[in-house]
Structure 1
Amino acid sequence: MTDETTTAEQQPATYGYYDNKQKHLNRLRRIEGQVRGLQRMVEDDAYCIDILTQTSAANKALRAVALELLDEHLKHCVAHATAHGGAEAEAKVREASEAIARLVRS
């Protein structure tokens, strides 16, 4: 027999994107559809420039999702860690900086 009560430590982590999770999923599904459309364009021998235009649109859409997730991460995860200070705060700031660097390079 298991104990049905849960403590705060047993509950799954809530990340910064939690409140907008469905919105993010919907956007990612639209992007997935864009990528499937790109595959069809290649299969159907579409004009190169048209494929490049759609590739650019898919990249822009992914970048927008990434920036929104980064913003939520900074406002929630990093802010929470810095409020508590210590090694966790330093790690979260470093992690965010590395994520920003990856986005800038992409």
Structure 2
Amino acid sequence: MSTDDDTPAVPFAVPSDVPGAPEASAEVPAAGAAENEPAGPHGYDENRAAHLARLKRIEGQVRGIAKMIEDDRYCIDVLTQVSAATSALQSVALGLLEDHMAHCVVAAAREGGEEQEVKLREVSDAIARLVRSGR
């Protein structure tokens, strides 16, 4: 499945126990996805297990937040948990950014040329998105 705005779509399995979730997996556009994703190992390969474990914990936090709302918990308590989940996601994002810079950007800088410029622009754009989302 693709989107109308030509943004590449990535498969994303929506858990079936989430209220209103579709029965099958859905495709979610990869916001800000690079147009020409390089093949081969990515910068996060070395920390893949740690990133996945962290994301699974965050997934549990988000499910807990949904349960809090279902149980009509106090707004401030829900917001506190939303803040914690948001901070955890920001931490994962910074780890991925660090991995990308240490692997992909450094490799491109060693090669020089156009690839160096592309990687620097990509990382600059990624940092800008993270800064905007942290407001």
- TM-score (norm. length: structure 2): 0.69
The answer to which structure, 1 or 2, has the higher relative contact order (CA under 8 A, 6+ apart) is: 1
Equivalent residue, structure 2, for 1:44: 71
Deviation for aligned residue 1:91: 0.3
Q: Which amino acid aligns with 1:64?
A: S
Q: Residue 28 in 1 paired to residue 55 in 2?
A: yes
Identity value in percent: 60
Deviation for aligned residue 1:74: 0.4
Deviation for aligned residue 1:43: 0.3
Deviation for aligned residue 1:60: 0.2
In structure 2, distance between residues paired with 1:94 and 1:19: 23
Structure 2: gaps (5+ residues): 1-38
Q: Residue 84 in 1 paired to residue 111 in 2?
A: yes
Q: Residue 67 in 1 paired to residue 113 in 2?
A: no
| CA distances 1:44-89 after superposition (whole Å, capped 9, x unpaired) | 0000000000000000000000001001100100000110011111
Structure 1: gaps (5+ residues): 1-11
Specify which of 18, 38, 51 is matched with residue 45 of structure 2: 18
In structure 1, distance between residues paired with 2:88 and 2:112: 34
Structure showing greater Rg: 1
Q: Which amino acid aligns with 2:94?
A: L
Q: Which runs of 4+ in 1 moved over 2 A?
A: none
Deviation for aligned residue 1:41: 0.3
Provide the alpha-carbon RMSD of the alignment: 0.7
Partner of 1:15, secondary structure, is coil
Equivalent residue, structure 2, for 1:8: none
- Structure number with higher helix proportion: 1
Q: State the aligned residue count.
A: 95
